[in-house]
Structure 1
Amino acid sequence: MGETGYALITVAASIAALLGLILRVRMPAFLALLLVSAGFGIVYGMSPGVIIRSIQSGMGGTLGFVAVVVGLGAMLGALLEASGGVRALSGGMLKAFGERRAPLAMGFVGFVVAIPVFLDVALIILAPVLYGLSRRTGRPLVAFAIPLLAGLAVSHAFIPPTPGPIAVADILGADLGLVIAFGALTGLPAMLIAGPLFARWLERRAEFQVAAPEEEDAAEEGVGFPAALGVVLLPLALILIGTLVDALGKAGLIVLPERVAGFIVFAGHPFIALMLACLLAWFVFGRLRGVAPNALTEAMVKALEPAGVVVLITGAGGAFKQILVDSEAGAALAATLTATGMSPLLFGFAVAAIIRVAQGSATVAMLTAAGIAAPVAEIAGLSAGGAALMVMAIASGATVLSHVNDSGFWLVSRYLRLTEAQTLRSWTVTSTLVGLVGLAMTLLLSLFV
C-alpha cells in the first residue's frame, strides 16, 4: 500500500473513531478530538515528541485568535440580551416591514440577531415575538418561525463573530472581511428561499396549522431599535472597512496617509472592532438607557461559561488540523483529491455534511472539516477569495440535515409545538435548504473570484 492509500485509510479511520467516541461513547467533543489527534499521530508513525508539539502548536495557534473573538462576541451578545436589545431589534424590524410582510421581517431579524447571539439563545428570547405574531394574525407559528430559524441558521454558520466561521477562517487562513462579505452574499439568498418562501408553502398544509400557546406577550422594554442595530453593525462595518482599506491600499487603488490607513486597519481588526462594540454597548445600554451595571456585568460573565466550551472545542479542532499538517497525511490526501479533479469547495462541503449528519453539532462539523480541508486548500493554492469561499462551502455542509442528534432540533420542536415527524418535515428541510442554497451561491461566486 502506498503512502497516499495509507494516509486516506488513516484519515478515514480517524474520522470514524471521532464520530464513534462522540456518538456511541458520549465522550465530550473536546476530549474526543484530542484523543483522536494523538491516536492519529501514533498510528501514522509520528514520534511522541512531535505529536505533543503539534497538538500544542495547533491548540495555541487557534486559540490565540479564536478565544479573544469568541469571548468578546459572547459578551456583546449578552449585553444585547440583558438590555432588551434583541427584542428591540425584532420589534423595529417588524415595524419597518409591517405585519403583512412579518415573515420576511422575521427572516431579517434572525439574520441580524444571530450575528452576536447564539442560535439557541436567540430562539428562546424571540419565542414570545413569534407567539404574539401568530395570535395577532391568526396564522400558524411556522409562518413566522421558519423564516426566523432560517435567518438564525444562516448567521450562525456563515457570519462572524459566531464561533464556527471565525474558527474555520482562522484554520484556513481566510480574510475575515471577505468571509463576512461572502457570508452575506451566500446567506441572504439561502435565508429567503429556506425561510419566507418555504414557510409560505408550509403554512398551507393542514398538519402545520399549529397556533401559539395562550399567554400574554412579554413587555417590550429596554433599549431602542437604532441603538441595538448600531451595536450589532459597528463591528461588522469596522472589519469590512479595514479589509477594504488594506486590500485597496496594497493594490494601489487608494492612497491614504500611512498613519490614517494604519489606524483604520487597526480599528478593523476583529479584536478591536468587537472591543469597541462592547464598550459602545456598555455605555449606551448602561449610562444612556439606565440598565444597571451589575445586570450587564453578570450577563457578560455568565456568557463566558458556554463560550469557554466552544473555545476549547475550537482549539482541539486546531490541534487535529495541525496533526494532519505535520504528519503530511493532509498533503497526501490533498494530492489525491487534486489528481481526481474534485473541486476543493465540493470536498469541504461533503466532509462537513457527513460529519454534521453523523454527530449533530454544526460547530464541531465545521471545525473538523476545516482541519481536514486545510491541506487541500493549501495544495490547491486558493486565492484570498477562494479561501473565504472554502469557509462558505464548509459552513453550507455543516448546516444541512439537522435531525434528532442536534440539540437545536429538539429546541425547535418544543417551542413550535411540533412532533418529531413535523420537525423533520419543517426545520430539517429548512436547514438543508440553507446548506444547499449556500453551496450553490458559493459555487456561483467562485466563477468570479
Structure 2
Amino acid sequence: MTVLDPTRLVIAALIGLAVLLLMIIKWKVQAMISILIGAITIGLLSGMPLEEIVAAVDDGIGNTLKGIALLVGLGSMFGAILEISGGAQSIAVSLVKWFGDKKAAWALGITGLVIAMPVFFDAGLIILIPLAFSLAKRTHRSSLYYVIPLLAGLAVGHAFIPPTPGPALVATMLGVDLGWVILVGVCCGTVAMIVAGPVWGAICGKKYDVPVPAHIANQEDFDESKLPKFGTIVTIILIPLVLIVMSSVTNIVPALNFLNPIFNFLGTPFVALLIATITAMFILGIRHGYSMEELEKVMTKSLEPVGLILLVTACGGVLRYMLQYSGLGDVIGNAVANMNLPLVVLAFVVAALVRICVGSSTVAMTMAAGIVSALPGISAYSPLYLACVCAAVAGGATVCSHFNDSGFWLVKSLVGMSEKTTLKTWTVMETLVGGTGFIVALIISFFA
C-alpha cells in the first residue's frame, strides 16, 4: 500500500466529503452516485494509485454486500408476509387490550419496537397508525398521545436492533457478532422508547391538540376476528433473534459449548432469518388462505426497494475501504488517540453530523461506520464495546430529523401537522430516541 502525505489525506477527505454532501443536499443527486463520487474523489485527491482506487471500490462493494445482502432481502420478504397476514395489527390490538386505553401508549410503543425489526419503518407506520388514530378517536385525546409512542417504537426498532438493515450493516462493517448488537440494542432501545414514547407522547398530547384526520375518523375499526393469534406472531418474530443470541451465548458459556456447532449454524443471521421467513410463509401465509403463487408475488414485490438499499449500503462500504486503503484511517485514529475521545462518542458525533447534513439515517450510518471501521486497531476492542459503538452510530443517525429527511414529511402528512408542530414533536422525539440510546450505550461501554 502506498504511503501518502497525512496533510494531503485530510484535505482530500474534507473535499471528498464536501462534494458528497453538496451533491446530496444542494444538487439533489441520488445518494448512491453521490457517495461513490465522493469516495473516488478522496482517492484521486489523496494521490492513491488508480489500481488501489479500483481495489477499494471492488472490495468495498463485495465485502459489504456479502454480509448484508441476504439479510435485507430475507427481512423484506419476512416483513411483507407479516404485513399481509395482519400480524402487525394483531400485536397492536392484543397489547392495547391488555394494557387498556389508559396505558395504550405503552402498548403502541412496544408494538412499534417489535414490528420495526422485520418491517421497514415506512411500512410499519402506514400499517399501524390507523390503530393509534382509532384510540385517539375513542378516548377523545390528541392523536399525538398515541402516535408519538408508536413512532418512537418504530424508530427504535429501525435504528438499534438487527435484523433491521441499518444496525446489521454497522455490525458487519465493524466485524462484531450480531448477538451482542441485539443485546445492547435491546437495552438502549427499551430505555429510548420509554423516554421518547409514552413520556414524551404524554407531554405532546397535552401541549398540542392534533385531531384525527377526517378520512381516518370515518373508517371502520379492524375486524379482529380475521387477525392471526398474538402468540403466533411474537414467536415467529423472535425466531431469528433467539437463534442469533443463542449463537453468542453458547460461545461464552462453557456449560453450553457442546451446542456450539448447532447454534453457530442456526444462529448465522441469514440462516436464522431464512428459518423465520419459511415459518411465516406456511403459518401466516398458506394457513391463512394464501396460495404459493400469491405469496410469491407478495414476496417478489417486497424486493423492489431492496436494490436501492443495497446499492447505497455497498457504496458506503466503498467509502470505508477508500478511507482505509488511503491511510486516512490511521491519521484519524492518531488524532482521536491524542484527543482522548472515546470511540463510542466519536461514532455518535460523526453519525449525528452526517444525519443533520444529509437527512438519511441509512447514509449517516453507512458513512459513520465507514469512518470508524477504518480506524487502526478497531478489531482489538471487545465485542461488547463494539456493540456499544454500533448503538452509538444508530443513535447519531437518528437524531435531529428535519426538512431533509423523508420521514419528517411522511409523519407530517399522515398525522396532519404543520411543519412547525412536526419540528416540535417528531424532531424532538427522534432526538430523544437517538440521544437516550447513545447515553445508555456509553454507560454500558464503561463496563466493556
TM superposition score category, shorter chain reference: over 0.9
Q: Is the 8 A contact 2:9 2:326 kept in 1?
A: no
Matches within 5 A, 1:45-444: 45-205=47-207, 207-213=208-214, 214-216=217-219, 217-220=221-224, 221-248=226-253, 253-257=254-258, 260-376=259-375, 378-379=377-378, 381-444=380-443
Q: Is the 8 A contact 1:30 1:316 kept in 2?
A: yes
Range with greater deviation from structure 2 (373-382 or 301-310) = 373-382
Distance 1:291 1:101 in 2: 35
Distance 1:291 1:168 in 2: 36
Q: Is the 8 A contact 1:140 1:212 kept in 2?
A: no
Q: Is the 8 A contact 1:74 1:117 kept in 2?
A: yes
TM-score (norm 2): 0.95
Q: Is the 8 A contact 2:142 2:209 kept in 1?
A: yes
Q: Is the 8 A contact 1:85 1:223 kept in 2?
A: yes
Amino acid at match of 2:377: E
User: 1:256: Cα distance to partner?
Assistant: 4.3
Distance 2:376 2:155 in 1: 25
- Any gaps of 5 or more consecutive residues in structure 2? none
Fraction of identical pairs, as percent: 38
User: 1:377: Cα distance to partner?
Assistant: 6.5
TM-score (norm 1): 0.95
Distance 1:393 1:9 in 2: 26
Distance 2:401 2:286 in 1: 41
Distance 1:33 1:112 in 2: 31
Distance 2:77 2:154 in 1: 18
Range with greater deviation from structure 2 (428-437 or 219-228) = 219-228
Q: Is the 8 A contact 1:172 1:370 kept in 2?
A: yes
Q: Aligned residue pairs: how many?
A: 441
Q: Is the 8 A contact 1:82 1:295 kept in 2?
A: no
Task: Compute the RMSD of aligned alpha carbons.
Answer: 1.5
Distance 2:65 2:55 in 1: 15
Cα pair distance change 1:280/1:428, threshold 3 Å: same
- How big is each residue's C-alpha offset from its partner over 1:106-140, in whole Å with a ceiling of 9 and x where there is no partner? 10010000000011111111121111111111111
User: 1:45: Cα distance to partner?
Assistant: 0.9
Structure 2 match to 1:37: 39
Amino acid at match of 1:390: V
Q: Is the 8 A contact 1:168 1:366 kept in 2?
A: yes
Q: Is the 8 A contact 2:321 2:374 kept in 1?
A: no
Distance 1:236 1:380 in 2: 24
- How big is each residue's C-alpha offset from its partner over 1:360-404, in whole Å with a ceiling of 9 and x where there is no partner? 110110001110111237358321111111101110000001111
User: 1:255: Cα distance to partner?
Assistant: 4.9
SS in 2 for 1:101: helix
Q: Is the 8 A contact 1:103 1:144 kept in 2?
A: yes
SS in 2 for 1:208: coil
Distance 1:111 1:434 in 2: 12
Distance 1:447 1:256 in 2: 28
Structure 1 match to 2:10: 8
Amino acid at match of 1:191: M
Distance 1:430 1:211 in 2: 20
Amino acid at match of 1:247: I
Distance 1:238 1:380 in 2: 24
- How big is each residue's C-alpha offset from its partner over 1:144-196, in whole Å with a ceiling of 9 and x where there is no partner? 00001011111111011111111111111111000000000011101100110
